[in-house]
Structure 1
Amino acid sequence: MSGDADAIVVAGILALLYRITPTAVSHGPAGTATRNYLAEDREGGRWFVKAYPPGTDVAEERQALALGETARRAGVPVPAVRRTVSGDVIASAAGLSVSVAQYIADAQTAEGGLCGGRWAAVGEAVGRMHRVLASHPAGPPRPVAARAVCDVARAGRRLEELLARWEAAPPSPGGFAAWCTHTAEQRRAALPEVAARLEKLPATLMTQVVHGDLASPNLLLRGEAVAAVIDFRPPGHRSAAWELGRIVLDPRTVLARPDEWIPGLARAVGAYRAANPQLPAEDLLAVPRVAAGYLACSVYPLSEPLNDPASVTPALEAYGRARHEATGVLWERLDEAEEVLHDVLR
C-alpha cells in the first residue's frame, strides 16, 4: 500500500463506500487535473481510481461519467464505472472525491501514433460514438459558422495578449520559453494567410455533443483495436469534424508517419462514415483543413511557461514543437489530403 496520504484515504473510501477491499493502492498514470491510482482487490480485480482536486465541480464530473456510460451502452469501448453502495458514480469522504472504473489492462495510449489497422479502428469507434451522442438530451446536432470552429479573430487577440505578457517578462534566451515567444510571433504573422485558407471551408459545420477531450492520452489501444475511450467531458456541442481530426491527425502521428498519414486518414474517414453516415460529407472533407486551422489558431502550449510553469516538462516541450511542425506539414499537403478524401466520399 502506498504511503501517500491520499492513497490511504482512497483505500478507506473503496472499503467503506464501494465494498472493495483493496490489497494494494498505487499511483496510476498522471492525469491533467486529477491524481490517479490503481487498486487491486482480494479477488484479483483491478480498478482505476480518479481523485479530483479540491474545488472540482463534482456535478459536472457526474455528467461526464454519464456521457461515457451513454456511449458504452451503444457499444463504444468505455470502461464500466463502479457505483458506490448508494448508487452514486462519485464518492466523497475525508475531503477527497473519487470515481472508480474498470481498469483496462495491456493497453497503450494513442500517443505512440496510429498505423496499420488502427486508422480504421479509431475512425469506426469515433463514428459510432458520434452517432449515439447525436441523440443526447443536451440537444440535437446543429450547424455553426465555420469561423467559430477555427476562430482567427480570437486567436489574434489571444496571441497579442500573450506577446504583451512576454514583452513585460522577457524569457531567457535559448530555452523553451524563448521558443514559445518566437513561435507566437510567427503564428500571429501567419494569421492572415490562415484566414484565407479557412475561407475554403464550408460556410457552416455541424456541431453536436462530442467526447470533448479526445486527445491521444484518452484513447487506449490494444494491438490494432481500440481498447477504451476514457475521460469524457460534460456534454457540450463541438464540431464533429474537429474532434475526428484531433485524434486521427495528432501531430505525433503526422510527423512519425509522413508517408502513411494521408492514406491512413482516408481509411479513418471511410470507417467513420460507415459507422456514422449522418455527418455530411462536406464536414468529413473538411477534417484536415479544420485540424490545420485549429492548430494554427491555438496558443497551447505557448502560454504554459507563463500560466503554469510547473507543467513545462520535456514531454510538453516536445509536444509543443511537434504541434508547430505538424501544422506546417498539414498545410503543405492539404490539397493532396483533400483530393484523397474526395475519392473516399464520392
Structure 2
Amino acid sequence: MNASESDVMVVAGILTLFYRIVPTLVGEGPAGTATRNYVARDSDGARWFVKAYPAGTDLDAERQALELGEFARLGRIPVPVVRKTLEGDLIAAAGDMAVSVAAFVEDTETAEGGLSGDRWAAVGETVGCLHRTLARHPAGPPRRVPAREVCDVKRAWQRLDRLLVLFAKRPPASGFPAWARETAAQRLDALPAVAAMVKGLPTTLTVQTVHGDLASPNLLLRGQQVAALIDFRRPGHRSPAWELGRIVLDPRTVLAQPQWPTGLAEAVAAYREANPALPAEELLAVPRLAAGYLACSVYPLSEAVDDPAAVTPELEAYGRNRQAAMAELCERLPEAEEVLHDFLH
C-alpha cells in the first residue's frame, strides 16, 4: 500500500468515526494550495468535500475561517454547508491528520477561465452581498485607514529588495528563476511610478472583515451564476474595494477579455446596488487598487527562492500572466476609470 492509498483509508476512517458518514468511495479531489483534498461519496449517494490539513497547520485559525464562512451563509451568501463532527467541532483530528468536511458543490467550474457575459454582474452582486454581510461581523465594524496601508509601496520596495538580495547570493542562469529575478528588478525600478499612481487613490479607504482569499480558484460558477464561495481566511480587516478588484480583474480575465473595462463597470455597478454603503470614490478606485496590488506583489516571483519545489509549469505560466495583466491594467487605467465613472454617474 502506498502513502496515497493509506491516506485515503485514514480519511475513510475519520468520516466513519467522527461524522457518522459511511463512505462507499473516497478519492483525491481538486488540488489545494496548502491542503490535500478528497471527495467522498456516502451510502445515500451524497458527495462530501474533505480538506486535509498538513502537519503544523494552525487549526484554530482554520476553525475561525470556517466560522467566517458559516457567518456569511447566514447572510444568504452561497457558501457550502460545513458538516460538524458528532461532538459539534468544525475540524476532526486523528493522529497526524486533521480534516474539515463540507457539502460538495456539484456541476461547477472555478473562475480560473475568466469572467464574461452575465458573470461580471453576478460576481459583482455576490461580492457586494458578501461585504454587506461581513460588515456586521463581530470582528469589528468597518473603519477608515490611510490609503498607503492598503497599497503599501514602501513594503513592496522592502520585499522586492530582499528578493533581489537572495537572487544575488545564488544567481539563476535560466528558466523561471532567471525571469523572476529580471521581473523583480523591473518592478523595483517601476515603484516610483506606482507610488505616483497610488497618490491618485482617495486619501483614506474603508477596511472591514472580508473573505480574505477571494481568488478565482475559490469562486465556483454554474453557468452564468455564482454557485459558491469557498476557502475563507480567518477574519481580518482589508479593503473591500481591493478584494472586489482582485477577483473581477484576475489576470486571466484581464488577458482573455479585451472589453474588460466594460465588464468591470458592470460588476462594480452590481456591487454598488448590493452594497451601497461603500463610497462611490472607493468603487472608482477599484482598477487602480488592482493595478497597484499586482505591481506591489512579489508572488509568485518569490517562490523561485522561498519554495523552489512549488514552481511548476502552471505556476510559471501564471506568473507571466500576472506580469502581462499588470502592464495591461496600467496601460488602460485611464480608460477603465472613465468607463467606470460613466457607469456610476
**Smaller-chain TM-score range?**
over 0.9
1:55 Cα deviation from its structure 2 partner:
1.0
8 A Cα contact 1:114 1:248, kept in partner: yes
Aligned to 2:238: 238
Unaligned runs of 5+ in 1: none
Aligned to 2:295: 296
Aligned to 1:343: 342
Aligned to 2:120: 119
The DSSP-based 3-state class of the residue aligned with 1:296 is helix
- Residue type of the partner of 1:130? H
The DSSP-based 3-state class of the residue aligned with 1:97 is strand
Distance, in Å, in 2 between the alignment partners of 1:66 and 1:85 is 17
Aligned to 2:132: 131
* Aligned pairs for 1:11-90 within 5 A: 11-90=12-91
8 A Cα contact 1:9 1:94, kept in partner: no
Distance, in Å, in 2 between the alignment partners of 1:178 and 1:94 is 42
1:78 Cα deviation from its structure 2 partner:
0.4
Aligned to 1:276: 275
1:262 Cα deviation from its structure 2 partner:
0.6
Distance, in Å, in 2 between the alignment partners of 1:343 and 1:137 is 36
Asked if residue 266 in structure 1 is aligned to residue 265 in structure 2, the reply is yes
Distance, in Å, in 2 between the alignment partners of 1:5 and 1:205 is 49
Distance, in Å, in 1 between the alignment partners of 2:328 and 2:114 is 16
- Residue type of the partner of 2:191? L
Aligned to 2:157: 156
- Residue type of the partner of 1:123? G
- The count of aligned residue pairs is 344
Task: Please give the per-residue CA displacement for 1:279-301, whole angstroms capped at 9, x wherever unaligned.
Answer: 11111000000000110011111
1:72 Cα deviation from its structure 2 partner:
1.0
8 A Cα contact 1:249 1:265, kept in partner: yes
Distance, in Å, in 2 between the alignment partners of 1:108 and 1:311 is 24
8 A Cα contact 1:79 1:104, kept in partner: yes
1:105 Cα deviation from its structure 2 partner:
1.1
Aligned to 1:182: 182
Distance, in Å, in 2 between the alignment partners of 1:234 and 1:21 is 30
* Aligned pairs for 1:198-209 within 5 A: 198-209=198-209
Distance, in Å, in 2 between the alignment partners of 1:63 and 1:157 is 30
The DSSP-based 3-state class of the residue aligned with 2:323 is helix
- Residue type of the partner of 2:202? P
Percent of aligned positions that are identical = 67
The DSSP-based 3-state class of the residue aligned with 1:155 is helix
RMSD, matched Cα: 1.1
Distance, in Å, in 1 between the alignment partners of 2:224 and 2:234 is 28
1:4 Cα deviation from its structure 2 partner:
2.0
8 A Cα contact 1:107 1:221, kept in partner: yes
The DSSP-based 3-state class of the residue aligned with 1:4 is helix
1:94 Cα deviation from its structure 2 partner:
2.3
- Residue type of the partner of 2:166? R
The DSSP-based 3-state class of the residue aligned with 1:336 is helix
The DSSP-based 3-state class of the residue aligned with 1:138 is coil
- Residue type of the partner of 2:204? T
Distance, in Å, in 1 between the alignment partners of 2:148 and 2:343 is 25
1:195 Cα deviation from its structure 2 partner:
0.5
Task: Please give the per-residue CA displacement for 1:145-190, whole angstroms capped at 9, x wherever unaligned.
Answer: 11111111111111111101101100022x1110001001100000
Distance, in Å, in 2 between the alignment partners of 1:20 and 1:331 is 51
The DSSP-based 3-state class of the residue aligned with 2:88 is coil
Distance, in Å, in 2 between the alignment partners of 1:26 and 1:222 is 23
- Residue type of the partner of 1:196? A
Distance, in Å, in 2 between the alignment partners of 1:161 and 1:99 is 36
Distance, in Å, in 2 between the alignment partners of 1:201 and 1:194 is 11
Distance, in Å, in 2 between the alignment partners of 1:98 and 1:22 is 15
Distance, in Å, in 2 between the alignment partners of 1:216 and 1:310 is 23
The DSSP-based 3-state class of the residue aligned with 1:89 is coil
Distance, in Å, in 2 between the alignment partners of 1:56 and 1:158 is 25
- Residue type of the partner of 1:110? A
- Residue type of the partner of 1:286? A
Aligned to 2:100: 99
The DSSP-based 3-state class of the residue aligned with 1:77 is coil
- Residue type of the partner of 1:78? V
Task: Please give the per-residue CA displacement for 1:286-318, whole angstroms capped at 9, x wherever unaligned.
Answer: 000000011001111111011111111111111
1:192 Cα deviation from its structure 2 partner:
0.4
Unaligned runs of 5+ in 2: none
1:231 Cα deviation from its structure 2 partner:
0.2
Asked if residue 316 in structure 1 is aligned to residue 327 in structure 2, the reply is no
1:61 Cα deviation from its structure 2 partner:
0.7
Distance, in Å, in 2 between the alignment partners of 1:125 and 1:93 is 36
Distance, in Å, in 2 between the alignment partners of 1:246 and 1:206 is 16
